[in-house]
Every structure is written in structure tokens, then in C-alpha cells.
Amino acid sequence: MSTVRPHNAPAPNLLVGRFSALAPLDDQERKALQLLENKTQHVFQHDTRVLRQGVEIHTPCFIVGGWASAEWQLHDGRRQIVQVLVPGDAIGLNVRARPVSLTHVVARTDLRTVEASGIRSAWRDRSRMPGICAALDLIESEYEFFLLTHMTRLGRQKAYERTANFILELDYRLSARGLCINGSFAFPLTQETLADVLGLSVVHVNRTLQQMRKDGCITLQGGRMTILNREALTTAGDFISPARFMTRAAPSDLPGIV
């Protein structure tokens, strides 16, 4: 089933795969997701703005190919990327009435998306497609989880730690979508973009990556990242998988407060 595909193409049934991993879907729900992927795809060119901060979101969508970034700008040009969006991620999808985009969204590669208005209304119903709703709840929860890790990275971790942690986040998210094989995945971000993700300067990102290569932790060449030493990265980056938060069980081994 996993034949060679063109570089930027999504795995077959990207969305079905992701959703059904999170919650059991009935045939109708599965079919609804499958139809989505066959829909007309919107295409955005590399470096194009997908969504503008402050505008009302009329058509939420899913990314089916390419990467994007959600970002915040300061008036003097500094920018912070608050979220890196990969295939399978939603753009502008939430339950709220009359949602407004809180960030700019920019295509970081050529980008293909499919409209998800139907999914949004199903989510609001909370009864018509319970499996999809459950999965969306978890997706939103995971999204928030990564926002919080990202904040901790920026506020309290050193360059090397941030980078390690972020690489593992990508590994985790891409794996869940079948876009990561043996800790190896396409990594189309420039070091400048990565700098805006990690809150560092380009120069320092470069040096940090080199250190990581020297340490035998990763490979990064030709737009492909490979994790060579997951243990070392996990320790250095203090990475916690969100998996444990996605289930009912209350974890007991989290770092506690006194």
C-alpha cells in the first residue's frame, strides 16, 4: 500500500487515519472525511498569506499538503511563529461562533488545503457525528498542549533544549499522520523560519543545529530531518508526549509541586 509518492503528496486518507486514531468512527463519519480529501483543493504558493490576523474566518480548512506557520508580528518587524502547521492540521477550525483569526497564517511551502465548513458545523452539533466531535476535542486539546509547551520552550529553555524539544514535537505530530518513518521526515523550513519559531537568531539556530549534528543526535540535509538519538534529544529537551493527556487516566508521574 505504501508505494513511492511524489515528494509533497499526503499519505492516502491522511484525515481518516488521523481521526480514527483518536476516536472510533462509524461508516458515515469515515466517508465524510474521505470525501473531504477528494474535494477541490485550494492551492497557495510558497510565502503566500493564507489568513490575515483579525479577519473573520469564513472557511476553515485542513492542510493536505505542505507546511504553514501561524504567526504574530510586532510593529518593528520582529515576528514570533506561534504554531507550525503540517499536513493534517486544521486552519481556522474551532467551535466558536463567528471565529476571528488571531494570527497571520503564511504558507511556508506550496500548500494544498481542503475546505472544512462541513466539519465545523458537525462539531457544533455535537451529536450528528459523535466520533468526529470526540476526535476534534482531542485535536484541540493537543493543539493547546503544544501551545503551552511552546511557551515553556520560549520562556525557560536554552537554545539547544528548545530545538531538541521542538524536533521531538514534530516527530510526534508527523508520526501520527504517517509522515514520519523511523524518525525521519521531510523538513522544509529554512533556518530563518526556524529561528522565528524558536525565538532565536538565525545564526544561533545554525550553530545549535550543528552542535546537534556533532553530538550525533540528528541529521538534516536536503530538506529531510532524521533523528539519530531520540534518548539524548528527549533528555535534553525535557520532552513530554501529549499522549498521556489524551486519555482518561490521570498520570501520577508528572513533575509535581512540592
Partner DNA sequence: CGCCGAATTGACACGGTTCAATTGAGGTGG
Partner DNA sequence: CCACCTCAATTGAACCGTGTCAATTCGGCG
Binding mask 203-242 for DNA (x = CB under 7 A): xx-xx-xx-----------x--------------------
For DNA, the closer CB: 75 or 96: 75
Instruction: Choose, by CB under 7 A, the member of 202, 228, 232, 240 that binds DNA.
Output: 202
- Interacting partner of 158 out of a copy of itself, DNA, none (Cβ under 5 to 8 A depending on kind): DNA
Instruction: Choose, by CB under 8 A, the member of 42, 140, 191, 206 that binds a copy of itself.
Output: 140
* Position 234 contacts a copy of itself (CB under 8 A): no
CB of 218 to a copy of itself, least distance (A): 21
**Cell, residue 222:** 536536503
The rounded distance, in Å, linking the Cα atoms of 204 and 161 is 13
Rg (CA), the chain: 18
CB of 196 to a copy of itself, least distance (A): 8
Are the C-beta atoms of 69 and 81 separated by less than 8 Å?
yes
Q: Kindly identify the residues of this chain, within the stretch 34-93, that bind a copy of itself according to CB under 8 A.
A: 49, 52-56, 72-76, 78-80, 82
CB of 119 to a copy of itself, least distance (A): 16
List, as own/partner pairs, every contact residues 43-46 make where C-beta atoms lie below 8 angstroms and the sequence separation is at least 24, other chains included.
43/110, 43/111, 43/112, 44/68, 44/107, 44/110, 44/111, 44/112, 44/113, 45/107, 45/110, 45/111, 46/107, 46/108, 46/109, 46/110, 46/111
Residues near 62 by beta carbon (within 8 Å), at least 6 away in sequence: 15, 36, 88, 89, 90, 91, 93, 113, 114, 116, 119
* Position 127 contacts a copy of itself (CB under 8 A): no
Instruction: Choose, by CB under 7 A, the member of 45, 121, 201, 241 that binds DNA.
Output: 201
* Position 125 contacts DNA (CB under 7 A): no
Give the number of C-alpha atoms closer than 13 A to the C-alpha of residue 80, restricted to the C-beta side: 13
Stretch that binds DNA, among 11-19, 25-33, 112-120, 187-195 (CB under 7 A): 187-195
* Position 96 contacts a copy of itself (CB under 8 A): yes
Would you tell me which residues interact with a copy of itself (CB under 8 A)?
Answer: 49, 52-56, 72-76, 78-80, 82, 95-100, 102-104, 106, 124, 126, 133-134, 137, 140-141, 144-145, 147-152, 154-157, 198-199, 238, 244-245, 248, 250-251, 254-257
List residues binding DNA (CB under 7 A).
Answer: 158-160, 190-192, 199-204, 206-207, 209-210, 222
